[in-house]
Amino acid sequence: MQSLSTAAEYTLRFINQTNRSIFLTGKAGTGKTTLLKEIIRTTHKNVVVVAPTGIAALNAGGVTIHSMFQLPFAGFIPDNVTPQVTDTVRFENKDSLRRHFKMRGDKQAVIKNMELLVIDEVSMLRADLLDAMDFMLRNVRHKDIPFGGVQVLFIGDLLQLPPVVKNEEWDVLSQYYRGKYFFHSQVVSNNPPLYIELSKIYRQTDDAFISILNNLRNNVITPNDVAVLNNYAQPDFDLKKNPGFITLTTHNAKADNINAKALDELDEKEFVFHPEIVGDFPEKIYPVEEELKLKKGAQVMFIKNDLSPEKNYFNGKIGIIKSVSDEEILVHFPEEDLTIEADKYEWKNVKYHVNENTKEIEEEVLGTFVHYPLKLAWAITVHKSQGLTFDKAALDVSGVFLPGQAYVALSRLRSLNGLILLSPLQMNGLTNDMDVMGYASSKVKEEQMELFLQKDTLRFIFNYLKNSFDWDELTDVWQRHKLTYLQEGPRSLKSKHREWANLSEDKIKKMHTPGHKFISQLAKLFSVEQPDMKFVQERVEAAYNYFFPAMDSLVTGLLQKMEEIKRLRKAKGFYEELSELEELQTYTVIRLMKAKRLMLAVLNEEEIIKENLITPEIHSYRIKKLEAIRKNLKDNPVTLLQEETEEYEIDNYPTKKKQPKKSTLEETFDLWKEKMSIEDIARVRKLTETTVLSHIAGLVQRGKIQIEEVLPEDKIAELAKAFEDFDGESLTNLKEKHGEAFTWGELRLYRASLNDDE
């Protein structure tokens, strides 16, 4: 990845070394998306990514705010007053949210285990929705502190898409909020996040252009700036004679009309492509138009970055369709004299769940949407151009811009050399939202960051240790569990296990007071300006050695009891009670192990990141314990024969260590190495067999798989003969020549073997 700027490096350290909430912003092209990926890759925290809309969530690799927090699509009043409701406007308040919207157990588990909440595209986040999120987090986590104690990373550019609030809604909300942006929310107004701005621009290198963009962004655009821009005004510019330019306009209908008309004027056969959809992928979050119409000669734009090592295209790169058939699209880039085959892209609809072994939050793929990452590119709206980069663009800005639209449109370009204005810019309409500009004045200066970081890191370490040795919640849960046995009759299933519950609860009770005494010791050690970290580490090590055996034995006892109970008839409810208790008990032990590792990392001056905090021992703690218990029960099955068993399976224990996020080819390769068939890989990954076969071709090209592993020798020999006159570019002619002798998949596999990278 590109080297990180100072502000980006500080953001990473604040995320991993503190619990302070951050607002991360920056001009277009400063690398906010790149930094988000690096945070997710390296953080030791349980992270959840959300966004205000389905498309934004899909692009960020997360879920929508409403689905994560099970919030209704209504305004939120941050008290218990019941506002008037009309046919067009609905509101919830604290009382109605608490009363009506019950959250499922699996969703609660994610929220309770969440440590870092990333909110992407925060410019669109309404103040009342953020307060509703805060309210839900406090309630589910039973902690009446901002966001229930979860660290929040807000990411976005407030000079881009603003929140949408109807006038009727604002009539009510204006009684509680002085503005609609996220920073107007009560939770942020009372607990401001650290404002960090990325300033190093990767998209533009032209100092004069960067200066104009900065002035435009900061509401200090000068007559001279406008005059410089208007030097690029060409009202009579002929787009037909200048291919490669995309028109940026303010209205969807105009952009759609330009594209449709230009495609219709091409005297070529039209091909229509549709997505491959597997599993659950709602239409409302389709990332591209379901129907892609193309002809030879069409001007198209890639809407994703090239994931291959070649990096042949980027999000916004424009090319021309050189040839097209039902199964192949070749795109030509005239300025580079380069032709590539467009590959399909996979979008995933995910949900989060808690891995019961590691207590880490993981993604589960619900469905996939596979389509060409292409769209017609004679025109696009300014709104839809966000996140794209253009080498050449013609701005049709005759209409009055909304705040920020001029900045968004111009900042898509790499340089002024690629700019055409179809009408001169006027000074009016170029101002930005004054609320946003006022909030921008609160950004932290780089020279202040180190001081903030040092203080916050000490506070984070103390709080992490304090929470790791605080058994209050665990003691309460064990006590409540013990009391449930008193409600059961003497002949009930649970009554036979009462003594075990009493002994276990007594064990945790004995740990409670020493735990608080140790927390008091920690508070004293951290009360000085520069705590003696070597001594702190020694005390943590001693406390760990004292507490761990008892806490570990409680996990062992719970897992063993669960293994016995799950085989008994009519024991499902009892098993689920034990399972909830075991989740908290195991989390407590894993937290203890991480606390010990944290102090070693601090003492050794290691980065506080995932690879230094989550050791293989921690990762495999529960599964290894469970395997030992199961082996013991298998070797000594007396307890299992005392009761009649039934078919009641609760046996979904993953055994693989969680790895950093892999590319889609790597995921397929892992399953291939397990000797899975293409059909099985497609089923497991929720993809079509055609898509999996394209992965196999990519792996053949990279030398990871030999073509002999995929195709029989006689077929390879036939393909070798067919490819003797292959020109290295289009497979369409070969397919037409040989018809049904070869499938498209076989042709692609053999071509990939010719281009073996190794």
Residue pLDDT, tens place only, 653-683: 333 344 556 788 989 999 999 999 999 999 9
Distance of CA 135 to the CA centre of its chain: 22
Mean pLDDT of 444-453: 85
With b for 16 or more beta-carbon neighbours within 10 A and e for fewer, the 150-186 pattern comes to: bbbbbbbbbbbbbbebeeebeebbeebbebbbbbbbb
Report the pLDDT value the prediction gives residue 292, as an integer from 0 to 100.
Answer: 96
Question: Residue 559: in which H helix or E strand, if any?
Answer: helix 533-565
Please indicate whether residue 425 or residue 235 has the higher confidence score (pLDDT). 235
Nearest to 217 by CA among 237, 234, 197, 242: 197
User: According to the CATH classification, is domain 6-202 in 3.40.50.300?
Assistant: yes
Confidence class of residue 566 from pLDDT cuts 50, 70 and 90?
Answer: confident
Each as own residue / partner, the long-range contacts of residues 675-683 (CB below 8 Å, 24 or more positions apart, any chain) are 682/278
Give the global pTM.
0.82
Confidence class of residue 198 from pLDDT cuts 50, 70 and 90?
Answer: confident
According to DSSP, the residues that pair with 48 across neighbouring strands are 117
Q: How far is the first Cα of the chain from the last one, in angstroms, to the nearest whole number?
A: 23
Report the pLDDT value the prediction gives residue 659, as an integer from 0 to 100.
Answer: 52
Report the pLDDT value the prediction gives residue 255, as an integer from 0 to 100.
Answer: 92
* CATH architecture for residues 664-755: Orthogonal Bundle (1.10)
- What gap in Å lies between CA 662 and CA 641, rounded to an integer? 45
* Residue 112, C-beta contacts closer than 8 angstroms, at least 6 positions apart: 140, 141
- What gap in Å lies between CA 470 and CA 119, rounded to an integer? 29
pLDDT over 90 at 733, yes or no:
no
User: Which is it for strands 393-395 and 246-249: parallel, antiparallel or unpaired?
Assistant: parallel
Residue with tokens 């659950």: 280
Residue with tokens 């999000």: 315
Per-residue pLDDT reduced to its tens digit, 579-594? 989 999 999 999 999 9
Q: What is the DSSP string of 169-190?
A: HHHHHTTT-S-SSGGGSHHHHH
- What gap in Å lies between CA 344 and CA 371, rounded to an integer? 5
- What gap in Å lies between CA 551 and CA 554, rounded to an integer? 5
CB 113 within 8 A of CB 354: yes
Report the pLDDT value the prediction gives residue 646, as an integer from 0 to 100.
Answer: 35
Burial level of 388, CB count in 10 A (0-12/13-18/19+)?
A: buried
208-222, 278-292, 316-330, 560-574: lowest mean pLDDT where? 208-222
CB 557 within 8 A of CB 625: no
Report the pLDDT value the prediction gives residue 203, as an integer from 0 to 100.
Answer: 64
Rounded to whole angstroms, what are the CA distances from 214 to 211, 379, 407, 409, 666?
A: 5, 26, 9, 13, 41
Average pLDDT of the chain, as a whole number:
87
DSSP annotation of 418 reads G
- What gap in Å lies between CA 361 and CA 363, rounded to an integer? 7
At residue 4, what is the residue type? L
Report the pLDDT value the prediction gives residue 644, as an integer from 0 to 100.
Answer: 35
CB 418 within 8 A of CB 286: no
- What gap in Å lies between CA 73 and CA 59, rounded to an integer? 21
pLDDT over 60 at 61, yes or no:
yes
Report the pLDDT value the prediction gives residue 431, as an integer from 0 to 100.
Answer: 61
Nearest to 415 by CA among 33, 29, 22: 29
* Residue 310, C-beta contacts closer than 8 angstroms, at least 6 positions apart: none
pLDDT over 70 at 708, yes or no:
yes
52-61, 554-563, 664-673: lowest mean pLDDT where? 52-61
Report the pLDDT value the prediction gives residue 758, as an integer from 0 to 100.
Answer: 43
| DSSP helix/strand/coil, 423 | coil
Q: What is the DSSP string of 209-271?
A: HHHHHHHHHTT---HHHHHHHHTTB-TT--STTSTT-EEEES-HHHHHHHHHHHHHTS-S--E
Mean pLDDT of 625-629: 89
Domain ranges in the chain are 6-202, 207-432, 447-635, 664-755
pLDDT over 60 at 604, yes or no:
yes
Handedness of CA 476, 482, 484, 487 (dihedral sign): negative
Per-residue pLDDT reduced to its tens digit, 357-412? 888 899 999 999 999 999 999 999 887 887 788 889 999 876 545 546 777 788 88
Q: Which two structure tokens, joined as six digits, stand for 131?
A: 């307060």
Report the pLDDT value the prediction gives residue 204, as an integer from 0 to 100.
Answer: 66
Report the pLDDT value the prediction gives residue 446, as an integer from 0 to 100.
Answer: 77
pLDDT over 80 at 506, yes or no:
yes
Report the pLDDT value the prediction gives residue 338, as an integer from 0 to 100.
Answer: 92
| DSSP helix/strand/coil, 628 | helix
Per-residue pLDDT reduced to its tens digit, 143-185? 999 999 999 999 998 877 788 899 989 989 999 999 999 999 9
Mean pLDDT of 307-320: 86
Handedness of CA 708, 713, 718, 724 (dihedral sign): positive
